[in-house]
A = this chain, B = another copy of it.
Amino acid sequence: MIDKEFHLERPLRWGMVGGGRGSEIGYIHKNSALRDGLFTLVAAAFDVNPERGREFGRNLGVDESRLYDNYKEMFEKEAQREDGIEAVSIATPNFLHYEMATAALNAGLHVVCEKPLCFTVKEAEALRKLAIEKQRVFGVTYGYTGYPMVHQARKMIENGDLGEIRIINTQFAHGFSSGMSELTSANTRWRQDPKIAGPTYVIGDIGTHALFLAETMVPGLKIEKLLCSPDTFVKSRAPMEDNAVVLMKFTNGASGTLWASAVNAGSMHQQKIRVVGSKASIEWWDEYPNQLRYEIQGKPAQVLERGMDYLYLDDDMVNSFRIGGGHAEGLFDAWANLYRRFGTAMDRVNHGERVEDVMKDLWFPNVNDGVEGVRFVENCVRSRDQNSVWVDYQ
Protein backbone atom coordinates (compact mmCIF):
# COMPACT_ATOMS: atom_id res chain seq x y z
CA MET A 1 0.00 0.00 0.00
CA ILE A 2 1.27 3.42 -0.94
CA ASP A 3 2.46 5.48 2.03
CA LYS A 4 -0.39 7.87 2.50
CA GLU A 5 1.61 10.18 4.70
CA PHE A 6 4.45 10.48 2.26
CA HIS A 7 5.34 14.11 1.92
CA LEU A 8 8.19 16.39 1.00
CA GLU A 9 9.67 18.95 3.33
CA ARG A 10 7.60 21.38 1.34
CA PRO A 11 5.65 20.94 -1.91
CA LEU A 12 7.40 21.87 -5.13
CA ARG A 13 6.39 25.13 -6.77
CA TRP A 14 4.99 24.09 -10.09
CA GLY A 15 3.77 25.70 -13.28
CA MET A 16 2.02 24.56 -16.43
CA VAL A 17 2.38 25.42 -20.09
CA GLY A 18 -0.73 24.56 -22.07
CA GLY A 19 -3.49 22.35 -20.74
CA GLY A 20 -6.07 25.11 -20.43
CA ARG A 21 -9.78 25.24 -21.12
CA GLY A 22 -11.13 22.07 -22.69
CA SER A 23 -7.84 20.21 -22.45
CA GLU A 24 -8.25 16.68 -21.23
CA ILE A 25 -4.53 16.18 -20.91
CA GLY A 26 -4.15 19.38 -18.90
CA TYR A 27 -6.83 18.20 -16.51
CA ILE A 28 -5.09 14.94 -15.83
CA HIS A 29 -1.68 16.61 -15.41
CA LYS A 30 -3.16 18.94 -12.85
CA ASN A 31 -5.10 16.27 -10.99
CA SER A 32 -2.04 14.06 -10.82
CA ALA A 33 0.49 16.63 -9.74
CA LEU A 34 -1.74 17.93 -6.97
CA ARG A 35 -3.02 14.57 -5.79
CA ASP A 36 -0.41 13.71 -3.21
CA GLY A 37 0.64 17.16 -2.09
CA LEU A 38 4.09 17.08 -3.71
CA PHE A 39 3.34 20.00 -5.98
CA THR A 40 1.46 23.30 -5.72
CA LEU A 41 0.28 25.02 -8.85
CA VAL A 42 1.53 28.61 -8.61
CA ALA A 43 1.99 29.78 -12.19
CA ALA A 44 0.82 28.97 -15.69
CA ALA A 45 0.63 29.95 -19.34
CA PHE A 46 -2.42 27.87 -20.07
CA ASP A 47 -3.49 28.93 -23.49
CA VAL A 48 -2.48 30.38 -26.84
CA ASN A 49 -5.32 32.78 -26.14
CA PRO A 50 -3.87 34.59 -23.10
CA GLU A 51 -7.16 36.02 -21.87
CA ARG A 52 -8.90 32.68 -22.02
CA GLY A 53 -5.92 31.13 -20.27
CA ARG A 54 -6.04 33.72 -17.52
CA GLU A 55 -9.72 33.21 -16.90
CA PHE A 56 -9.10 29.50 -16.71
CA GLY A 57 -6.28 30.03 -14.21
CA ARG A 58 -8.35 32.32 -12.04
CA ASN A 59 -11.02 29.65 -11.82
CA LEU A 60 -8.39 27.29 -10.53
CA GLY A 61 -7.35 29.78 -7.91
CA VAL A 62 -3.95 30.64 -9.37
CA ASP A 63 -2.72 34.11 -8.44
CA GLU A 64 -3.65 36.48 -11.27
CA SER A 65 -0.14 37.94 -11.38
CA ARG A 66 1.34 34.58 -12.20
CA LEU A 67 -0.92 33.76 -15.15
CA TYR A 68 1.27 34.52 -18.12
CA ASP A 69 0.73 35.20 -21.81
CA ASN A 70 3.20 32.58 -22.89
CA TYR A 71 5.90 30.29 -21.64
CA LYS A 72 8.74 32.69 -22.35
CA GLU A 73 7.23 35.35 -20.17
CA MET A 74 6.53 32.79 -17.49
CA PHE A 75 10.04 31.39 -17.39
CA GLU A 76 11.54 34.88 -17.34
CA LYS A 77 9.29 36.40 -14.70
CA GLU A 78 9.25 33.36 -12.47
CA ALA A 79 13.03 33.25 -12.52
CA GLN A 80 13.06 36.69 -10.98
CA ARG A 81 10.96 35.67 -7.99
CA GLU A 82 12.29 34.26 -4.76
CA ASP A 83 9.34 31.89 -4.79
CA GLY A 84 9.44 31.20 -8.52
CA ILE A 85 8.47 27.86 -9.95
CA GLU A 86 10.89 24.95 -9.68
CA ALA A 87 9.17 22.65 -12.09
CA VAL A 88 7.00 22.93 -15.15
CA SER A 89 4.76 20.59 -17.08
CA ILE A 90 4.45 20.97 -20.81
CA ALA A 91 1.06 19.91 -22.17
CA THR A 92 0.98 21.49 -25.61
CA PRO A 93 0.79 19.96 -29.08
CA ASN A 94 3.92 18.09 -30.09
CA PHE A 95 5.75 20.61 -32.24
CA LEU A 96 6.22 22.93 -29.27
CA HIS A 97 7.72 20.38 -26.90
CA TYR A 98 11.30 20.78 -28.01
CA GLU A 99 11.59 24.53 -27.79
CA MET A 100 9.65 24.72 -24.56
CA ALA A 101 11.52 21.90 -22.85
CA THR A 102 14.82 23.41 -23.94
CA ALA A 103 13.79 26.79 -22.59
CA ALA A 104 12.59 25.28 -19.34
CA LEU A 105 15.84 23.42 -18.74
CA ASN A 106 17.79 26.54 -19.59
CA ALA A 107 15.65 28.38 -17.06
CA GLY A 108 16.77 25.85 -14.47
CA LEU A 109 13.43 24.10 -14.20
CA HIS A 110 12.63 20.46 -13.70
CA VAL A 111 10.45 19.39 -16.58
CA VAL A 112 7.53 17.06 -17.09
CA CYS A 113 6.84 16.78 -20.78
CA GLU A 114 4.25 15.07 -22.92
CA LYS A 115 5.56 12.59 -25.46
CA PRO A 116 7.00 12.84 -28.04
CA LEU A 117 9.75 15.06 -26.74
CA CYS A 118 10.51 16.27 -30.25
CA PHE A 119 10.63 15.13 -33.86
CA THR A 120 14.22 13.88 -34.30
CA VAL A 121 16.64 11.80 -32.33
CA LYS A 122 19.17 14.59 -32.69
CA GLU A 123 16.89 16.98 -30.85
CA ALA A 124 16.03 14.34 -28.29
CA GLU A 125 19.69 13.70 -27.58
CA ALA A 126 20.20 17.42 -27.19
CA LEU A 127 17.45 17.53 -24.59
CA ARG A 128 19.01 14.63 -22.75
CA LYS A 129 22.39 16.29 -22.77
CA LEU A 130 20.91 19.53 -21.56
CA ALA A 131 18.96 17.90 -18.75
CA ILE A 132 22.07 16.17 -17.46
CA GLU A 133 24.16 19.30 -17.87
CA LYS A 134 21.60 21.35 -16.00
CA GLN A 135 21.04 18.52 -13.51
CA ARG A 136 17.31 18.75 -13.86
CA VAL A 137 14.78 15.97 -13.66
CA PHE A 138 13.00 15.36 -16.94
CA GLY A 139 9.87 13.25 -16.67
CA VAL A 140 7.80 12.00 -19.58
CA THR A 141 4.11 11.23 -19.08
CA TYR A 142 3.77 7.72 -20.34
CA GLY A 143 0.79 7.63 -18.02
CA TYR A 144 -0.25 4.00 -18.43
CA THR A 145 2.98 2.81 -16.88
CA GLY A 146 1.84 4.27 -13.59
CA TYR A 147 -0.59 1.37 -13.16
CA PRO A 148 0.62 -0.94 -10.38
CA MET A 149 -0.04 -4.15 -12.31
CA VAL A 150 2.41 -3.04 -15.00
CA HIS A 151 5.06 -3.06 -12.32
CA GLN A 152 3.89 -6.37 -10.96
CA ALA A 153 4.50 -7.70 -14.46
CA ARG A 154 7.92 -6.05 -14.56
CA LYS A 155 8.93 -7.69 -11.32
CA MET A 156 7.65 -11.09 -12.40
CA ILE A 157 9.72 -10.83 -15.56
CA GLU A 158 12.78 -9.61 -13.69
CA ASN A 159 12.32 -12.47 -11.28
CA GLY A 160 12.28 -15.02 -14.10
CA ASP A 161 8.69 -16.13 -13.50
CA LEU A 162 8.15 -16.29 -17.25
CA GLY A 163 11.45 -17.94 -18.09
CA GLU A 164 13.30 -16.48 -21.04
CA ILE A 165 11.34 -13.85 -22.89
CA ARG A 166 10.45 -14.97 -26.39
CA ILE A 167 7.58 -12.92 -27.74
CA ILE A 168 6.26 -9.44 -27.00
CA ASN A 169 3.05 -8.42 -28.69
CA THR A 170 1.94 -4.94 -27.80
CA GLN A 171 -0.79 -2.81 -29.29
CA PHE A 172 -2.79 0.38 -28.94
CA ALA A 173 -5.49 0.15 -31.55
CA HIS A 174 -8.56 2.32 -31.08
CA GLY A 175 -11.28 3.01 -33.60
CA PHE A 176 -12.08 6.65 -32.99
CA SER A 177 -10.76 7.80 -36.35
CA SER A 178 -12.43 5.08 -38.41
CA GLY A 179 -14.42 7.84 -40.02
CA MET A 180 -13.13 11.33 -40.76
CA SER A 181 -13.10 12.39 -37.15
CA GLU A 182 -10.63 15.14 -38.08
CA LEU A 183 -13.49 17.09 -39.62
CA THR A 184 -15.12 17.58 -36.27
CA SER A 185 -12.35 17.15 -33.72
CA ALA A 186 -9.55 19.71 -33.52
CA ASN A 187 -7.75 17.33 -31.23
CA THR A 188 -7.65 14.68 -33.95
CA ARG A 189 -6.85 17.20 -36.67
CA TRP A 190 -3.54 18.38 -35.29
CA ARG A 191 -2.40 14.84 -34.62
CA GLN A 192 -2.68 14.15 -38.35
CA ASP A 193 -0.73 17.24 -39.36
CA PRO A 194 2.99 16.45 -39.71
CA LYS A 195 3.96 20.03 -38.93
CA ILE A 196 2.31 19.85 -35.54
CA ALA A 197 2.41 16.16 -34.71
CA GLY A 198 5.68 15.03 -36.26
CA PRO A 199 6.41 12.56 -39.03
CA THR A 200 3.80 9.95 -38.08
CA TYR A 201 0.26 9.80 -36.78
CA VAL A 202 -0.55 6.61 -34.90
CA ILE A 203 3.02 5.38 -34.56
CA GLY A 204 4.07 8.41 -32.56
CA ASP A 205 0.75 9.21 -30.99
CA ILE A 206 -0.11 5.86 -29.49
CA GLY A 207 2.45 3.36 -30.78
CA THR A 208 5.06 4.87 -28.48
CA HIS A 209 2.78 4.18 -25.52
CA ALA A 210 2.56 0.55 -26.55
CA LEU A 211 6.33 0.43 -26.96
CA PHE A 212 7.07 1.99 -23.60
CA LEU A 213 4.66 -0.40 -21.95
CA ALA A 214 6.79 -3.23 -23.33
CA GLU A 215 10.02 -1.51 -22.29
CA THR A 216 8.68 -1.03 -18.77
CA MET A 217 7.56 -4.60 -18.37
CA VAL A 218 10.70 -6.12 -19.86
CA PRO A 219 13.70 -4.42 -18.29
CA GLY A 220 16.62 -4.01 -20.67
CA LEU A 221 14.57 -4.53 -23.80
CA LYS A 222 16.38 -3.26 -26.89
CA ILE A 223 15.33 -3.44 -30.52
CA GLU A 224 17.91 -4.87 -32.91
CA LYS A 225 15.97 -4.40 -36.12
CA LEU A 226 12.46 -3.55 -37.12
CA LEU A 227 10.11 -3.38 -40.05
CA CYS A 228 7.24 -0.92 -40.20
CA SER A 229 4.21 -1.58 -42.37
CA PRO A 230 1.86 1.39 -42.31
CA ASP A 231 -1.54 1.94 -43.92
CA THR A 232 -3.55 5.04 -44.67
CA PHE A 233 -7.10 3.82 -44.86
CA VAL A 234 -8.66 7.26 -44.91
CA LYS A 235 -6.90 8.47 -48.01
CA SER A 236 -6.98 12.19 -47.23
CA ARG A 237 -4.65 11.53 -44.31
CA ALA A 238 -1.76 10.56 -46.58
CA PRO A 239 1.16 10.57 -46.13
CA MET A 240 0.31 10.15 -42.43
CA GLU A 241 -0.63 6.59 -41.50
CA ASP A 242 -3.75 5.71 -39.54
CA ASN A 243 -2.75 2.10 -38.98
CA ALA A 244 0.62 0.39 -38.66
CA VAL A 245 2.18 -2.89 -37.75
CA VAL A 246 5.80 -2.97 -36.65
CA LEU A 247 7.78 -6.20 -36.49
CA MET A 248 10.72 -6.18 -34.12
CA LYS A 249 13.64 -8.42 -33.33
CA PHE A 250 15.14 -7.68 -29.94
CA THR A 251 18.77 -8.03 -28.87
CA ASN A 252 17.77 -10.67 -26.30
CA GLY A 253 16.55 -12.96 -29.08
CA ALA A 254 12.90 -12.18 -28.61
CA SER A 255 10.50 -11.25 -31.40
CA GLY A 256 7.72 -8.76 -31.21
CA THR A 257 4.88 -7.01 -32.91
CA LEU A 258 3.44 -3.60 -32.27
CA TRP A 259 0.07 -2.63 -33.67
CA ALA A 260 -0.98 1.00 -33.60
CA SER A 261 -4.28 2.00 -35.10
CA ALA A 262 -6.87 4.72 -35.07
CA VAL A 263 -9.20 2.82 -37.40
CA ASN A 264 -9.80 -0.34 -35.38
CA ALA A 265 -13.52 0.26 -35.70
CA GLY A 266 -15.63 -0.21 -32.62
CA SER A 267 -12.76 -0.76 -30.25
CA MET A 268 -12.13 1.53 -27.31
CA HIS A 269 -8.38 1.44 -26.64
CA GLN A 270 -7.34 -2.12 -27.21
CA GLN A 271 -4.10 -1.13 -25.53
CA LYS A 272 -2.97 -4.60 -24.62
CA ILE A 273 0.30 -6.35 -24.14
CA ARG A 274 1.19 -10.01 -24.05
CA VAL A 275 4.67 -11.08 -23.03
CA VAL A 276 5.48 -14.71 -23.68
CA GLY A 277 8.32 -16.50 -21.96
CA SER A 278 9.62 -20.02 -22.17
CA LYS A 279 7.60 -20.98 -19.08
CA ALA A 280 4.67 -18.63 -18.89
CA SER A 281 2.99 -15.58 -20.33
CA ILE A 282 1.39 -12.47 -18.92
CA GLU A 283 -1.26 -10.32 -20.45
CA TRP A 284 -2.42 -6.88 -19.42
CA TRP A 285 -5.05 -4.54 -20.81
CA ASP A 286 -5.33 -0.90 -19.89
CA GLU A 287 -9.13 -0.98 -20.03
CA TYR A 288 -9.14 -3.46 -17.13
CA PRO A 289 -5.99 -2.29 -15.41
CA ASN A 290 -6.53 -3.89 -12.01
CA GLN A 291 -6.10 -7.41 -13.35
CA LEU A 292 -3.10 -9.21 -14.79
CA ARG A 293 -3.48 -12.55 -16.48
CA TYR A 294 -0.70 -15.00 -15.74
CA GLU A 295 -0.59 -18.21 -17.71
CA ILE A 296 1.93 -20.85 -16.79
CA GLN A 297 2.24 -23.51 -19.48
CA GLY A 298 0.50 -26.66 -18.30
CA LYS A 299 -1.27 -24.96 -15.37
CA PRO A 300 -4.62 -23.22 -15.00
CA ALA A 301 -4.49 -19.58 -16.03
CA GLN A 302 -4.42 -17.17 -13.10
CA VAL A 303 -5.96 -13.75 -12.68
CA LEU A 304 -3.87 -11.59 -10.39
CA GLU A 305 -5.67 -8.71 -8.72
CA ARG A 306 -4.24 -5.39 -7.70
CA GLY A 307 -4.07 -4.88 -3.98
CA MET A 308 -3.51 -8.46 -2.93
CA ASP A 309 -0.82 -9.86 -0.67
CA TYR A 310 0.37 -12.42 -3.19
CA LEU A 311 1.81 -9.71 -5.42
CA TYR A 312 5.41 -8.61 -5.29
CA LEU A 313 5.07 -5.90 -2.69
CA ASP A 314 8.01 -3.72 -1.90
CA ASP A 315 9.01 -0.17 -1.20
CA ASP A 316 8.56 0.71 -4.80
CA MET A 317 5.87 3.33 -4.83
CA VAL A 318 4.38 2.55 -8.18
CA ASN A 319 4.14 -1.13 -7.58
CA SER A 320 2.07 -0.37 -4.57
CA PHE A 321 -1.53 0.73 -4.49
CA ARG A 322 -3.84 3.35 -3.04
CA ILE A 323 -6.76 1.21 -1.96
CA GLY A 324 -7.42 -2.43 -1.20
CA GLY A 325 -8.06 -5.15 -3.76
CA GLY A 326 -11.47 -5.38 -5.35
CA HIS A 327 -11.83 -1.64 -5.55
CA ALA A 328 -11.01 -0.21 -8.96
CA GLU A 329 -8.12 2.14 -9.48
CA GLY A 330 -8.09 4.14 -12.69
CA LEU A 331 -5.96 6.29 -14.94
CA PHE A 332 -5.95 9.27 -12.59
CA ASP A 333 -4.39 7.06 -9.94
CA ALA A 334 -1.82 5.77 -12.41
CA TRP A 335 -0.81 9.27 -13.41
CA ALA A 336 -0.68 10.36 -9.79
CA ASN A 337 1.76 7.52 -9.19
CA LEU A 338 4.00 8.94 -11.90
CA TYR A 339 3.84 12.49 -10.57
CA ARG A 340 4.62 11.17 -7.14
CA ARG A 341 7.80 9.75 -8.58
CA PHE A 342 8.58 12.87 -10.58
CA GLY A 343 8.22 14.95 -7.41
CA THR A 344 10.33 12.56 -5.40
CA ALA A 345 13.08 12.64 -8.00
CA MET A 346 13.01 16.42 -8.17
CA ASP A 347 13.18 16.70 -4.40
CA ARG A 348 16.14 14.35 -4.25
CA VAL A 349 17.99 16.34 -6.88
CA ASN A 350 17.04 19.54 -5.07
CA HIS A 351 18.70 18.03 -2.03
CA GLY A 352 21.94 17.43 -3.85
CA GLU A 353 21.76 14.03 -5.50
CA ARG A 354 22.99 13.73 -9.08
CA VAL A 355 20.09 13.30 -11.46
CA GLU A 356 21.87 10.35 -13.13
CA ASP A 357 21.95 8.56 -9.80
CA VAL A 358 18.31 9.23 -9.08
CA MET A 359 17.36 7.92 -12.52
CA LYS A 360 19.20 4.71 -11.80
CA ASP A 361 17.73 4.29 -8.37
CA LEU A 362 14.14 5.35 -8.89
CA TRP A 363 12.10 4.14 -11.79
CA PHE A 364 10.17 6.84 -13.62
CA PRO A 365 9.64 7.58 -17.33
CA ASN A 366 12.61 9.82 -17.80
CA VAL A 367 14.47 11.64 -20.54
CA ASN A 368 16.12 8.42 -21.71
CA ASP A 369 12.71 6.90 -22.24
CA GLY A 370 11.65 10.01 -24.08
CA VAL A 371 14.65 9.71 -26.37
CA GLU A 372 13.84 6.07 -27.07
CA GLY A 373 10.31 6.96 -28.12
CA VAL A 374 11.63 9.45 -30.67
CA ARG A 375 14.18 6.91 -31.86
CA PHE A 376 11.46 4.34 -32.41
CA VAL A 377 9.47 6.73 -34.59
CA GLU A 378 12.58 7.65 -36.57
CA ASN A 379 13.40 4.02 -37.24
CA CYS A 380 9.83 3.27 -38.24
CA VAL A 381 9.93 6.16 -40.68
CA ARG A 382 13.18 4.89 -42.12
CA SER A 383 11.65 1.45 -42.74
CA ARG A 384 8.44 2.95 -44.07
CA ASP A 385 10.28 5.17 -46.52
CA GLN A 386 12.03 2.15 -48.03
CA ASN A 387 8.78 0.34 -48.66
CA SER A 388 8.64 -1.36 -45.31
CA VAL A 389 11.91 -3.25 -45.29
CA TRP A 390 13.78 -4.44 -42.24
CA VAL A 391 16.15 -1.79 -40.92
CA ASP A 392 18.85 -2.11 -38.32
CA TYR A 393 17.85 -0.11 -35.29
CA GLN A 394 19.91 3.04 -34.94
Residues of A within 8 A of B (CB): 4-5, 7, 11, 21, 24, 27-28, 31, 35, 37, 56, 59-61, 162-163, 166-167, 169, 174-176, 178-179, 227, 229, 231, 233, 243, 245, 247, 255, 257, 259, 261, 263-269, 271, 276-281, 286-290, 294-305, 308-310, 322-333, 387-390
In whole angstroms, what is the CA distance A310 to B302 when docked? Answer: 14
Smallest CB separation, A54 vs chain B (Å): 13
Assess whether A265 is in contact with B279, with CB atoms less than 8 Å apart: yes
Assess whether B288 is in contact with A59, with CB atoms less than 8 Å apart: no
Assess whether A276 is in contact with B264, with CB atoms less than 8 Å apart: yes
Smallest CB separation, A210 vs chain B (Å): 14
Assess whether A300 is in contact with B289, with CB atoms less than 8 Å apart: no
Assess whether A328 is in contact with B231, with CB atoms less than 8 Å apart: no
6 tightest CB-CB pairs across the interface, nearest first?
A266-B295, A330-B330, A268-B326, A269-B326, A300-B302, A328-B330
Question: Known: A24-B323, A167-B243, A324-B24. Contact between A266 and B56, CB under 8 A?
Answer: no
- Most chain B CB atoms below 10 A, which of A4, A245, A294, A324: A4
- Most chain B CB atoms below 10 A, which of A37, A179, A281, A305: A281
Assess whether B326 is in contact with A328, with CB atoms less than 8 Å apart: no
Residues of chain B within 8 A of A324, CB atoms compared:
24
Residues of chain B within 8 A of A276, CB atoms compared:
175, 261, 263-265
Choose among B11, B281, B322 the residue that contacts A267 (Cβ–Cβ < 8 A). Answer: B281
Choose among B169, B326, B332, B388 the residue that contacts A323 (Cβ–Cβ < 8 A). Answer: B332
30 contacts between A and B (CB under 8 A): A163-B265, A166-B231, A166-B265, A174-B326, A178-B279, A178-B297, A227-B388, A231-B255, A245-B255, A264-B281, A265-B278, A265-B279, A265-B280, A265-B297, A266-B280, A266-B295, A266-B301, A267-B281, A268-B325, A269-B326, A286-B328, A288-B288, A294-B300, A322-B332, A327-B331, A328-B328, A328-B329, A329-B332, A330-B332, A387-B390
